[in-house]
Amino acid sequence: MYVVTILQLLLIYALLTLSLNLVVGLAGQVNLGHAAFFGIGAYVGGTLLKAGAPFPVALAAGAVAATALGLVLGAVSLRLRGDYLAIATIGFNFAVVAAFLYTPYFGGAYGLSGIPRGLAPSTYVLALLATFGLAVFIHERVRNSESGYALVALRDSEVAAEALGLSVARFKLVAFALSTALAGVAGVFYAAYIGTLRPEDFGFPLSVTLIAMLVVGGMGGLWGPILGAFLLGGFAQAFAFVHDYQAVLYGLLLALVMRYRPQGILGRVS
């Protein structure tokens, strides 16, 4: 039972890392605030579940809310690149966490507790597996389509992509919309899984962890982000008994991977 519980959490992380790959690995847009969209989905979905809404309604609302704010961030940052885009996404992450912290509707500093799962345990697992499978399907359809090739061209050189006649603004917004929608869906599953949400759970450290999962596994492909999520997420669970030294071990693992596999474990495959 414990293994199944941990696997559910790792699947949520894999779904979240896969969503980040769409905007970072494929489109090459630096997003250091992805945890914010995860939190938006979690808080919106968790609030509706607590109010008695059916799980599908909460799931749809979390995805829509995350997508809407993702499009706002994408539209605002259309002219930003590199370090400037990274700083903008970090600022957005801090702003969202502050909104959770100081909004009584979301529980404020006390967080949101007592969130029901909304589904029977077995149904929840099946729904999570089906959603993850759908996310993999969407990811691969995008990656192997003309839009996916356009996103890769955008990643390699925005100037060259624009010179080829590609609409840089449109493809950036598409990448942000798909990425944040899946992050919102992952957030609703997380809220139903964990039952209690705190603003600090969706802060900048989580965004950095997600980037680490993506980089360690290998960006751009399918299996790299999934492997990174399971490897680093499983590492955190396996070494939970040495909590005081967990950060040290985590840092050593990252350093070793970056030293010997800078392109990621599955970088060449990806």
Residue 268 backbone dihedrals phi, psi, to 5 degrees = -70, -40
Residue 157 backbone dihedrals phi, psi, to 5 degrees = -165, 110
CA separation for the pair 149, 155 (Å, rounded):
10
3-state SS class at 93: helix
| Beta-bridge partners for 197 | 112
- Cβ-Cβ contacts under 8 Å for 252 (sequence gap 6 or more): none
CA separation for the pair 177, 70 (Å, rounded):
6
pTM over 0.85: yes
CA separation, residue 136 to residues 49, 130, 133 (Å)? 26, 10, 5
CA separation for the pair 25, 135 (Å, rounded):
15
Residues listed for the chain: 270
Tens place of pLDDT for every residue, the chain, 270 residues? 677 888 999 999 999 999 999 988 888 888 889 999 999 999 999 999 999 999 999 999 999 999 999 998 888 877 777 778 888 899 999 999 999 998 888 888 888 989 998 889 899 999 999 999 999 999 998 888 877 787 777 777 777 777 777 777 788 888 889 999 999 999 999 999 999 999 999 999 899 889 989 988 888 888 889 999 998 888 777 766 666 666 677 778 778 877 888 788 887 544
